[in-house]
Structure 1
Amino acid sequence: MDQQLKGTLVSRRDTMITALSRAEAFIADFNIERDQIQVALRLQYLDKMWATLEAVQGQLEDIETTNEGKRLLADVRANFEPRLFKTKASLIAKLPSQNGNVSVPPVAHSSTSLTGIKLPTITLPEFDGDYNQWLAFHDTFLALIHSNPEVPDVQKFHYLRAAVKGEAAQSIESIAISSANYKLAWEALVSRYDNEYLLKKRHLQALFSIPCMQVENPAELHRLVDEFERHVKILHQLGEPTDQWSTILEHLLCIRLHDDCIKVWEDHASTLTDPNYRCLVEFLHRRVRVLESICANHHGSSSGSCMQGQPEQIPCQFNSSSYATTSNFHDSCLACNQPHPLIRCEVFHRLSLPERQQFVYSKRLCHNCLRADHIVRNCSSSYNCRKCNRRHHTLLHPNSSDGLASTDSSVHLTIQPTTSPSPSAETTVGTNKQATMLQSGNLPHVEVSASMRGQAENVFLMTAVVTIIDSHGQHHSARALLDSASQPNLISARLASVLQLKRNSTYVTIHGAGNLAKPVRQSVTTEIRSRRGHFSCVADFLVMDVVTSSLPKQNVSTAGWKIPSDVVLADPSFNQSQPIDLILGAKHFCSFFPSAARMQLNENLPNLVDSVFGWVVSGAVNSTHADGNSLSQPAHQISERASPELNSFQNN
């Protein structure tokens, strides 16, 4: 590679990006009377700069040969492309109305002039390969971009690249950006996802998979009706005679309602000549309004107990100065249904730590205040854990009585004082013993055994494509390994950088095969969500350059596997060797498999296991299915060196 040429190109690219920053500063400090006359000229300059930047970046990508260099170039492109789109859109919006290239046609003939009214910007939707979101993405992109004659094809391609994520992005990432290739890329997406038969099956499956209401409140009821109606309308749009399914739809929706709501509906239905699906939907809309009115009358702007679905007993007289501290005591406890908050419930206190954690997960409560309707990241409570001062409730803090030792026999924690070689010094991890050793100056060694991969067979480990939330609340897709034998959760440094997560200092050493040590000095906290349903959890991750090797070690043919067409795989590309960005360890592992349903394809193939992310593939497969030589199966071990800074991370 010509280093001098590369340096020249990088310098030119930096100059263009600096010019982009000046354009952003112009928009931020825009004054319509002073600056509007410059907008058209700046747009022309931006277009020339865009073309130059694209050419320079393309040359750099062509001459780069290393994987690390290509990854850095991809990160640079991911940084400046959205800024270019946003800057150009902002400049177009600031054009004088008589000279603007983008106009909004009037919706009706009216003598009232719309001159000077700035309509809100329409944001392009993102599509990550979820068939349930395809029609909305297809119709919006078709109307705003694809059918717009004023947008050049190469620019349409850039918009398309920016709008598709995850699995959908992979289907067009090998197509080079050019005007001629745009139609090819669009047709590739349409041919893959615009499958009417499969869309019908996916939306019908989603209709049957909508969870039942656990509590009756206006938000939950509104969500249930809206989601049910959305799938019914899409099925009708796809040509299904849903207007003839009234009895079936009425039954499917009815069995998902709360018992109290069903009783009121059945009483109302007895007064109707023909109680059908449309009658039920209209009844539920009225029911939502009634519940919202009750909440407004009882609580004013407060929605605490309404969001939990439990009626609050309003005293006839109360002291306004103490109302804020006593009103919540009238909520019915979720554990015993008595009039006290969960944190004062003796039944909840008597549960073991794992049982309390599982109860909080199943009820979707905040881990910090143990209340519903929000997650710990959005919790407004000023209180933290009294033992470690982290954002979880003290009742959820692991301690010596609840035990840090895992119930999984493949995971164990031991402390070995570095100053004594005696085997008798090995002790089970406990909060008090740990503190004693730290005070004495002995740095403990915490060892966590990880899953052992089979050495004689080709074994699929549990992988899933999950949704992970960045620092701005945006959704990203990431490939995760579900590992019940790993205590810590791990995240790659690349993904942590893309998510722009706040990094915390820590002191951990990961030991691999042959006792090779890898120090880790940073950790992050973020939220993991399922692409399939409503599952989510907040987890801590240790940041590593590479969390593990690509899985599987090489591509494996699935010809003849006959996976049912209605099975939603957690990792649609499970058989293709691809990088792993996350390892989700034992702390959350059990919550991923609420049903534990399994499906055996045949005796020579792995199992399918139902999870909150979809069906995961796990187990051995005959080596003849591998594309090439038999897969090499590494065995490795993860261990950590604990320091005072790490204690709070382990106990979270």
Structure 2
Amino acid sequence: MSEKLKKLRALRQVDIFKLEAIYDIANSVPGDENNLPNLIVAYKNVLSIQESFERGHADIIATLAVRDDSDLDAEEIIRKNFMSMLNEIEVCYYKFVQVPKEQASGSSTYTKKSNAKMPKLNIKCFSGDIKEFPTFIDMYDSSIHNNPDNSDMDKFNYLISFLSGPPLELIRRVRFIEQNYLTAYTLLRERYTNKRDLAQEYWKGIYDSPQLTSENAHMLRTLLDSFAQNLAGLEKMGYDTGHWDFMLMNLLLEKLDSNTVKAFELHYASNEIPTYQELYSFLSKQCTGLEAFTKSKKIKVGSTSSPNFVRYPRKTAFMPVSGGRQQTLLAKTSTNNCLFCKSNHIIFKCPSFLTKTPQERFKFAKRVRCCINCFATSHSTCHCSSDKRCRHCNKSHHTILHFDNVTSGDNDDEAEASTSNTNLSRPTENTNINENNSLSTLSGVIPNFNYVLLSTALVNILDKFGNLHTMRAVIDSGSQVSFITKACANKLALPKFNAALSIQGL
């Protein structure tokens, strides 16, 4: 019970802190009316803070009511202090925002009051994108600025509520009083009606459109919309884009992928120069066709009875060959547990093992019956397939097992592994096996012939953009890993990353 009560009181205190911040802003307004925009923005959160406080306070009272030692008077004092701050904020907001100032003549009559509750208008907030300003200012003028029923204070409130980012910072420089509304409005229009900047933004939207790399309906539609929207903006500014036909046609043609360009050239098939409208119309139809094709393919991929997928009879991984001796090999994944200390690293990088002398390392390798060339336990030294040799004597043993000055009591194997008295701290070669990934794969049925037949299948694969491609897959049921050619991965636009993995197999 006490833990729950602590949490409820902590949440309630957060609401009190939020209201205190707004209370401080409201108290600063009488001395500096430049803080009025901050009060207007902060006042939007007052109602949600009040509701959250009341819910939390009610939960605290309900929790304390079942306890005999509860002090409800202290909780009531907290509530009264909260409501007192809330009332003062309401009075300040009503006085400086909702009720206009007295007329400049000093008479006791007021100018036309602003609406007590301003209607909510569906105008997108303007954040500084110069290409969006013409649409924003047209909607604002028709709904608010040119409406005679709105006072200048109402218009000022609306203007601030529809701005964010740099435009809002620009307006905040103007003192928030009714007489300054036209000043703020004019300042905003002059800042974001720079025709040169606007025209450059429209042209950059056309020139910097993304280059298409493949036939993709979504990317093609985005390209066409970018050309159409930015050209419409330039035409609205008074530019005659009809004289730009040759330039626009070639610019759009350069943005297309090779397959789309080929399709257009085959469709047009003329020595005459195509117009921009002819190219745009063809691409619109091409886009519609690609969208329909993509949708139909997605439906067929989800269906089990799709005729696009050819079902081949199930075959074994290796075709049996009559008259030949067959041997079954199993796949095995090797681990990196150290033979010496049993930790998760390779033995020739084991700190404990490297502190031993080369003679002691050699005796240990013979005792655990591992290959003295690669330290593998799956084969002997004479059957080791590694082409690495000792860096000092070029014989079939690991470099860290190299030593010389062999006594007469040493055996033949020990003599083979000796030529120098160097105690190496870390190896630099003899293996390329990664510390974390080492995979050996042996699979299949090997006959007495020099070839093995693997089953294959034609499969349809979706690329990154949802398009289908027919690929030939080699099926090896004994393989523990899957591989894909680089050409196939590039064609499917698959993401690639570098990884260190050693693959060994027979």
Same fold (TM over 0.5): no
TM-score, structure 2 normalization: 0.42
* Bigger helix share: 2
Larger Rg: 2
